[in-house]
Amino acid sequence: MQVFNTPAEWAAIRLQFQSKNPSIGLVPTMGALHEGHLGLVTQCIKKSGVSVVSIFVNPTQFNNPEDFEKYPNSLQEDLDLLEKAGVDYVFVPEVKTMYPQETNLKIDFGSLERVLEGAFRPGHFNGVGIIVSKLFHMIQPDLAFFGQKDLQQVAIIKRMVNDLSFPIQLEIVSTRRETDGLALSSRNRRLSPSEREKALILYQSMVLAKKELLEGKSWFEVQQTIQREFEKTEGVDLEYFELVETDQFELFTDFDPQKKNSICVAAYVGEVRLIDNLPVIS
């Protein structure tokens, strides 16, 4: 495994295998890797001739500076995991490499970014769009791998790839969970043991909501039930619990079994903000 830090280094590396023209797969990450990331890496290695993982904590997608400061940093541990997994190359740039000057460009994803994560984290998806675009231009992958856990981010990146005609095939990998259902997340490292237990309500509430929807209850009834469940859980503050059209993130006021829809949730467990989603009809 080879670590590189600049686009110029990558250009020199590509010259070594350019004549063989292998497919290049990219897994963009912010480090603090877990089994969910490694699931993306496994698919990248399986489907690509050359595997590249980027590790960069992108400051422009944090609307809360404190959240950025507290984001876990475990670079050496991450590199050890990636080497063990069999990754070919790891891109670890500095901030000045990715942002040599302030980026004035703003990407507006329309209604797709004005709900849920976009509404609660203003500017977040602009930061995501900018950094992913930069990585796509620098690495020039043929395939790029993203996790379904960040469902709205997936929708945003699909929109960007289509609208800007990136010649990249997106591969979306299913959410990885602990045996008790908690979605794997780098933020889980910040949970105390008691908070870790309380965090299970996110997944449990979605499972309950899906069950009740499929049994014929209205979305209004389901939301009321879930709201009460969260109110009974001390130390957990529900931010949103919504039913959306899976691709365009249109908010549904009721369940339509003829359309693709997913339940999305965000909540603070102590000081840690967690998100999750569950398809109802895929």
Which one-letter amino acid corresponds to residue 58?
N
Q: Which residues are documented as binding site for (R)-pantoate?
A: 61, 153
Task: Give the pairing type, strands 143-147 and 169-173.
Answer: parallel
CA–CA distances in Å: residue 205 to residues 147, 224, 265, 267:
21, 11, 9, 12
Q: Which residue is it, tokens 């949970």? A: 191
Q: Which residues are documented as binding site for beta-alanine?
A: 61
| Strand order, beta sheet including 261-269 | 236-245, 261-269, 272-281
C-alpha–C-alpha distance, residues 163 and 69, integer Å: 33
Distance of CA 152 to the CA centre of its chain: 8
Sign of CA dihedral 204, 205, 206, 207: positive
Residue 164 in contact with residue 191, Cβ under 8 Å?
no
**Which pair of tokens denotes residue 97?**
């490499």
> Any alpha helices (H) in the chain, and if so which ranges?
7-17, 35-47, 65-70, 75-85, 95-98, 117-120, 124-139, 151-163, 193-198, 200-214, 219-231
37 is catalytic: yes
Distance of CA 103 to the CA centre of its chain: 22
Q: Which residues are documented as binding site?
A: 30-37, 61, 147-150, 153, 184-187
Catalytic residue among 26, 37, 52, 203: 37
Q: List active site positions.
A: 37
